[in-house]
Amino acid sequence: MDISHSDVGQSERKCCTIIVTYNGEKWIKNCLYTLFSSIYATDIIVIDNGSSDNTVQILEEYLDQIQLIKTGQNLGFGGANNIGIKMALEQGYDYFFLLNQDTWVEPDAIGQLIKGLKQNEMYGILSPVHVNGQMNAFDRNFKKFVRRYKKINLPFNESELARHKSPIDVGFVNAAAWMISRKCIEEVGVFSPLFYHYAEDNNYCHRTLSHGFKIGIIKESLIYHDREYRNDSYSPTKDFERETVKSLSNPLKNRTLLQDFIIALSKILEISSKIRFYKIPGFMFWAFKEFFVLRRKVKEFDNSALYNFELDHKYS
């Protein structure tokens, strides 16, 4: 792994923005420019996940303003963010702003989030309002999850949002833009390596809540998400693994083996309805075995030092 940065020395700033890039040449300049223009100054760590386009070359133009870590491989969202989080912890930051490469921020967005954490210490994660890249509607995933967890109707005229006082409590908000307190990271830990891409933020929210922290939205803080849509082909095995691990890893649900198995069985039947008939027996046989393998892995991780900061030395 290659680490590049400027010679500005130890920063006195208390906020570090952590960005994971992967083939992000379309967005990264705009993302960085808005961070450079932030009213509340933030240092920036970028972890590149083995980009094959011009992302790294673009980032190297800003080495006087960012720290750049080149992993040389795709570690996934959680794995790459864990590297940045560990570095920022060691460098003494108090606030950790996880930001997607395909976003840009309003000048006061970071300051409003930090103000929210300072005034509401029971919150571990605060997120801004997410607007789409066309700047004419809420980001669809943000809107979906806020409506699900808070029962808020979100018209883009913000009339509904205006009725609520910040922070607006939610059970989950997607990790396109999270401001996390140091206390939360020290108690909850880092992202679970059981998740490669998708659902790691869901798991982290569950763990945050289980540690007694709250999760909220600061309506005075605004980011724009020019969402990177992926055309991943459907994989029944990946679907089962992701959803099963997500269910098994939820510390808010203390279920028995039978209860876990019933939930997994429901997922097996759901996936079986989506695949070709002749593939169903093989998939079901694999899934039943995989359930017990995954359950054992989750238990092993839960009883280990998984969520502390003992990351593999080659990424330190």
| pLDDT, tens digit, 9 for 90 and up, residues 245-265 | 777 777 767 778 888 888 888
Of the candidates 138, 125, 109, the one whose C-alpha atom is nearest the C-alpha of residue 34 is 109
Res 309: pLDDT: 45
Among the residue ranges 75-79, 154-158, 249-253, the one predicted with the least confidence is: 154-158
Whether 21 contacts 49, CB under 8 Å: yes
Residue with tokens 């869901």: 202
Long-range CB pairs of 157-161 (<8 Å, 24+ gap) are: 158/219, 161/129, 161/219
Q: How far is CA 31 from CA 20, 34, 44, 46, 260, in A?
A: 12, 6, 11, 11, 41
Q: Which of 152 and 204 is assigned the larger pLDDT?
A: 204
Q: Does pLDDT of 281 surpass 70?
A: yes
Q: What is the dihedral of CA 22, 69, 35, 175, to 10 degrees?
A: 50
How high is the pLDDT of residue 127?
97
Instruction: Determine the length of the chain.
Output: 316
Domains detected in the chain: 2-230 (3.90.550.10), 236-302 (no CATH)
pLDDT at residue 215 greater than cutoff 80: yes
pLDDT of residue 270: 86
Query: Looking at per-residue confidence, does 312 or 110 come out higher?
Result: 110
Identify whether the C-beta of residue 115 lies closer than 8 Å to the C-beta of residue 48.
Answer: no
Mean pLDDT, the chain, whole residue set: 83
Burial class (CB in 10 A: 0-12, 13-18, 19+), 3: middle
pLDDT band at 224 (very low <50, low <70, confident <90, very high): very high
Q: Give me the mean pLDDT over the 262-291 stretch.
A: 85
Higher-confidence residue of 80 and 287: namely 80
pTM of the predicted structure, to 2 decimals: 0.78
pLDDT score at 124: 97
pLDDT digits (tens, 9 = 90+) for 115-132: 999 999 999 999 999 998
Higher pLDDT, 138 or 4: 138
SS3 category, 225: strand
% of the chain residues with pLDDT over 70: 82
| Omega before residue 251 within 30° of 0, cis | no
Number of helices (H), then strands (E), in the chain: 11, 10
Residue with tokens 């590149």: 48
